Amino acid sequence: MSTEEIRAALAEIVNEVAGIPADSVQLDKSFSDDLDVDSLSMVEVVVEAEEKFGVTIPDDEVKNLKTVGDAVAYIERNIAA
């Protein structure tokens, strides 16, 4: 999957979980500050993303995923591993 494909798929999850319009889920956006995704919603996004992309995102890693770009980069690194 390309970076853009991952971003778009993640944006769909964020839209489903938190109701944020998918096209505002861009790489430079902070989940908590820009998109208003609270901590429990973030866990929901992570769990959905794990299933969608076939990756594992440990709880300790979640706090490092501050922006959409952080999450997309993490998924890209781990998607084939």
Partner 1 sequence: MSRTRVVVTGLGTTSPLGGDVASTWEGLLAGRSGVRPLGDMADGLPVTIGATAAVDPAEVLDRVVARRLDRSSQFALIAALEAWADSGLASAQESGALDGDRFGVAFASGIGGVHTLLSNHSTLLEKGPRRVSPIAVPMLMANAPAATISLKLGARGPVNTPVSACASGNEAVSLAADQIRLGRVDVAIAGGTEAAIHPLPIAAFANMMALSKNDGDPTKVSRPFDTGRDGFVLGEGAGALVLESLEHAQARGARIYAEVLGTGITADAHDIAQPDPAGRGGARAIRAAVQDAGVAPGDIAHVNAHATSTPQGDVAESLMLHAVLGAAADDLVVSATKSMTGHLLGGAGALEAVATVLAIHHRTAPPTINLDEKDPQVELDVATKPRDLPLGDIAAINNSFGFGGANVAVVFGSPT
Residues that bind partner 1 (CB under 8 A): 17-19, 40, 43-44, 47, 50-51
**Residue 3 Cβ, how far from partner 1 at the closest point, in Å?**
26
Q: Using alpha carbons only, how large is the chain's radius of gyration in Å?
A: 11
For residue 18, the SS3 value is helix
Task: Check if the beta carbon of residue 4 is closer than 8 Å to that of residue 72.
Answer: no
Of 50 and 69, which has the nearer Cβ to partner 1?
A: 50
Of 19 and 79, which has the nearer Cβ to partner 1?
A: 19
**Residue 19 Cβ, how far from partner 1 at the closest point, in Å?**
3
**Residue 14 Cβ, how far from partner 1 at the closest point, in Å?**
11
First to last CA, the chain: 13
Of 9 and 69, which has the nearer Cβ to partner 1?
A: 9
Residues β-bridged to residue 30: 67
